[in-house]
Every structure is written in structure tokens, then in C-alpha cells.
A and B are shown apart, each in its own frame.
Chain A
Amino acid sequence: MNNLVILPLIIPLITGIILMFLKDHVRLQKTVSVISFLITIGLSAALVQTVYKKGIQMHELGDWPAPFGIVLVADLFSSLLVFTASIVSFCCVLFAFRSIGKEREKFFFYAFVQFLVTGVIGAFLTGDIFNLFVFFEVMLMSSYVLIVLGGTKIQLRESIKYILVNIISSALFVIAVGYLYSVTGTLNMADLSVRISEVNQPGILTVIAILFLIVFGLKGAIFPLYFWLPGSYEAPPASVTALFGALLTKVGVYSIFRTFTLLFYHDQSFTHTIIGYMALLTIIIGAVGAIAYWDIKKILIYNIIIAVGVILYGVTLATPEGLTGAIYYLLHDMVIKGALFLLAGAMIVITGTSKIKEMGGLIKRHPLLGWMFFLAVIALAGIPPLSGFVGKLLLLQSGLETENYTFVAVLLISSLLVLYSVMKIFINCFWREPRLSAEQEKGSTKGLLYPPFMLLILSIFMGVGAEWIYPYVAEAAQTLSDPSIYIHSVLKE
């Protein structure tokens, strides 16, 4: 028993409940949110350190042993994600303090953010496939509310699409779990892995694996299933989009990693080839979208899709270096997407529009915002001293070692296109002749810049301090590439 595993999950839950009682006291809500996030970040940092020092930690809910009860399992992969997710959501909430507005704050905005974080952290930590479904629903229910809260026309329209797609994918998830349960007779992930390797994954289990790929692909927006994402992520305010862009699709990607490294790894020539092609097409579609639009939000949203493709290809590079690269890129991408959406939110606050052609010359009066955006852009593209470089380098290296030359070419070209698409924002919005004079500006950036600044500092640290972070990520990849470590520490055989 280790309470450290469950506390990062319980604290946002209790905070959400307390915030419901504080409906009319906005200042108190903010204070409680900040305190709870600081505690969650501290505890999840302690969790990372404990798992690194002592191996996989777990918590058996209700004191029932592993295959019978629900277990929460923290290996290094999930605890690193919990740590990053709590930092990014903290920064998004700090941004919301200044930008979200009274009418949303009074209707349980901060409570729903806490419930969203509960769902995300729970999905990372759980060791039971039906419990994973429940935490997906906790996360999605809160995201439905956050996407529609405020009730503008575009939010209502896009939330209908978003809810429709997610309800269908949740129904598919239940069906897939039902099939898996009828074949194996268990729901615990470690036990599932043992049972599947006993029968060596016959055809029916490969079908179920593909069904899971479709379910998690719908949640994580990979190639033929990404269609709902560009519209839905454009609708809500910037701090909510940042929260979604940094966390929600990554939970889908995490689940694909977990299921295809722990459960369905016996028929790699079939399943992993399909994942590989889907990942490549996801990168290509994302790149096409990113260079096509002249709208800040749209460009950044298509960059999410590119990153999902890049990370997903890491599953098929079943080498430890490939997985290390993918995990590093996953952590980097959560941080940098949060920073980019928050910076874009600040630009939209100033200009009142998200169309690139209606902006210009912002660097004159907002030099700090401009250079922060520049830094985020080159970190996203993967320029050496910053965080995007390490992950991409490792991915390229193992792509060359395993002779996946198509992937190497697509990754390098997509990096160029990513750089072009975001540089287009920087050059056209910050340089050129100023479009707005000081009194024409729609709002001030007072207090809006320090949350993305914190994320940028973290991103620089992840690049410069790669020496410190690399052992953690490599250890996480080690656990992923050898399922027996996970199984032995959960089932204690």
C-alpha cells in the first residue's frame, strides 16, 4: 500500500467538491484552486522520485488483491505524465484567472477544471481497463461542460459535434471491453497481459486490438478519425483550448501506448504496421492543415494532430530508444502546446481576432510576448537547445536504426512545415507595420504572460537539462518495452 499513488487523484477530486460549495466566492475559489494545484504538483513530483528510486508503486483500492480489485499503478511513464499534466493545468488555470470572466467563474468553471484534472490523472494511473473507461468519462463529461460553458453560438454548435463523436467512441469502448472480457474473463491490465500471452493473441484478440485502436484513435485524433478536432477546439476560450490541447488527446495517445505495449504486442507485423501507416498519414494531414490556414487557432490545432502522429509512430519503433524518444516528445509536447495556446490567447486578447491578416506589428508594444512566442515556436520545431530537439533526435536515430526511412523523411519534412506554419504567425503578426494603435487594442496582457513564461522555462529546462531528465524517461521506456516488469509488480508472482 502506498498512499502517494492515490493522493494526486484524490486532491483534485476533493478540491472540485469544495469549489462547488464556494459558488459565489470567486476570490476564495481562486485561492483554493492554487493551493490544491501546488499540493498536487508537489505530491506528483514526490511520486516520480519514489517510482524512480523504488520501482513501480501501486495502491489496491479497498484492500482487494490485484486481479480481483481495482489497482492504481504508477510506473515511471504514468507518473511523469501525471507530473507534467498537473503543471500544465496549473498554468492554464492561472491564465484563466485573468481571462475567463465573471460569468463563467460563477458557474463552476474552476470546479469543472478540477474534475477534468481528476479524470486525466486517473486515466494515467489506473491499472484496470474498465476503470480506464470510467476515468475517460469523468474527463469527457467535464470537457463537455468546459466546451459549452458561456453558451455562445459557436460553442453550442461545436459542442454538439464533440459530444456526438465522443458518445459514439465511448459506446465503442464499452463494446471493446465487453469483447475483451468475454474472451479473457478479466479486466485487470496485468492479468489481461498474462492471459493474452498464454493464448499468444489469436485472430479474435487482434480484432479487439484494432477496435481499441479505433476507440483511442477517436479520442486522440489520429488520421481517419481526427475530423471532429479542428472545429471543437476552436470554440472554447483560450485557457480551455490550452487545457484540451495539452491533455485530452494525450490521454488517447497514452492509452494506445499502454494497450499496445502491455496487452497486444504479439502480432506486431499486423497491428504495428497499421499504427505506423495511420501515424504517417496523421502527420501528413496535420501538416497540410497547418500550412493551409491563416488563423492562429487553426494552425496550432493542426500542430496538435502532427504531434499526435509523431508520438504514435514511437509505438511501432519497438526499441527502447524509439520509446524513449516518443515519451520525451510526449512530455515536451504537453508543455509546449500549453504555452503556445496561452500565448495565442494573449494575442487574441490584444487584437480581438484570430485572423493573421488582421494583425501586424505587435512586437512594437509587446516585445516580451513576441520573443516568448518566438522561443515557443523554435522549441516546437525542435531547434537544439530547446526541448523539442531531444525527442525528435531520439526518434530519428531509432528510425534510422530500424530502417524506417519513410518515417525519417516524413518527420524531417514535417518539422520544416511546422516551423513554416508557426513562423508564418510570428512574421505576420509581430513584424510588418502595426495595425492597431495603443488605444485601439481590445485588452491588456496584464497578468496573462507569466503562466506561459513558466511553461517556457520548463521547456528550456527540458532541453538544456536533458542530462537530468533523460534517465527518468529512459527508465520509463524500459518498463514499457518489457511488460513482465509491470506484470510482476502488480500480480506479485
Chain B
Amino acid sequence: MKVNDLVLQTVAKVIVFMIIIFSIYLFWTGHYTPGGGFVGGLMASSGLVLLLVAFDVETVKNVIPFDYKMLIATGLLVAVLTGLGSFLFDVPFLTHTFGYLHLPALGEVSLATASLFDLGVYLVVVGVTMTIIQTIGENE
């Protein structure tokens, strides 16, 4: 029996963007308010899971042609290289720094290298969650 899921698909198309934007918001504010790479990554992958529920595995793969296993490796590499970067300045592994920058639209913002490490965590979490869900979903 063919189910008509027009409502679900239409809503999903709108909601997914909101979820992803909220996940990016969680990621950026993690330094001062609750949030950060882990929960941001989970939120982003929950948006992708909503797409998987509304459409099927093949369609989502065509729309977002990522190999999520490589996303895990990229995230790990980003996190480790952030740590290794401190060797260039002759300080111990994983030493972080921060600075204040004056950006045109946003005004005075503080940027910390810890957010690069968090970016690695974000990518790993998205990669791991999506790998698990896609692998179980595809299995016959």
C-alpha cells in the first residue's frame, strides 16, 4: 500500500533547516551558555534523521552525498591538528588561546581556538550518528 506522506515531506523540508540552524547556534554559543560540539552535532544529525524518516535512504544519499565515515576521520583530524598546532608555538599539546576581533556586521566578538576543537567534535558526532543509522537502515 502506498502511503501518501505529502504533509510530512513538506513540513520536513522547512523544519530541517530550522533544526540545522539551531544546531549551529548551539555550537557557536557553547563557550558561554549550555551547548557545544556534542549536542550541536546530535541536533544536526537529528535534522538529517528527520529527512531520512520523511524520504528514503537513497534520496537522502543523492541530496547529501557525504561518506559519513570520512566525516568521522575528518573530525578526528581537525581535533588532533588543533591540539598539535600548539607545538608550533612551543607550548604543550592542546594549549588553547583566544582573542577579540572587530568584525564588520557583528561588532566585537571573542574567538577561541577551542571552537576549532569543538568543530572536530561536531563533525565526529554527526559522522558517527549518521553512520550508525544508515548502516542499520540499509541492512536487509
> A interface vs B, CB < 8 Å?
1, 3, 6, 10, 13-14, 17, 20-21, 23, 59-63
Contact = CB atoms under 8 A, between A and B. Distances in A.
Interface residues of B, number: 15
B73 interface: yes
B92 A20 contact: no
Interface string B20-64: 000000000000000000000000000000000000000000000
30 contacts: A1-B91, A1-B92, A3-B87, A3-B93, A10-B80, A10-B93, A13-B80, A14-B77, A14-B80, A17-B73, A17-B77, A17-B80, A20-B69, A20-B72, A20-B73, A20-B76, A21-B73, A23-B69, A59-B92, A59-B93, A60-B92, A61-B93, A61-B94, A62-B92, A62-B93, A62-B94, A62-B95, A62-B96, A63-B91, A63-B95
Q: What is the interface of chain B mostly: helix, strand, loop, or mixed?
A: helix
A291 to B, nearest CB: 45
B133 interface: no
Contact of B92 (A13, A21, A23, A61): A61
Contacts of B72: 20
Which 3 pairs from chain A and chain B are nearest by CB? A20-B73, A63-B95, A62-B94
A63 B92 contact: yes
Contacts of B94: 61-62
B121 to A, nearest CB: 14
A13 to B, nearest CB: 6
Interface in B56-108: 69-70, 72-73, 76-77, 80, 84, 87, 91-96
Contacts of B91: 1, 63
Nearest to A6: B93
Contacts of A20: 69-70, 72-73, 76
Nearest to B70: A21
B85 to A, nearest CB: 12
A14 B76 CA distance: 9
A6 B93 CA distance: 8
Contacts of A14: 77, 80
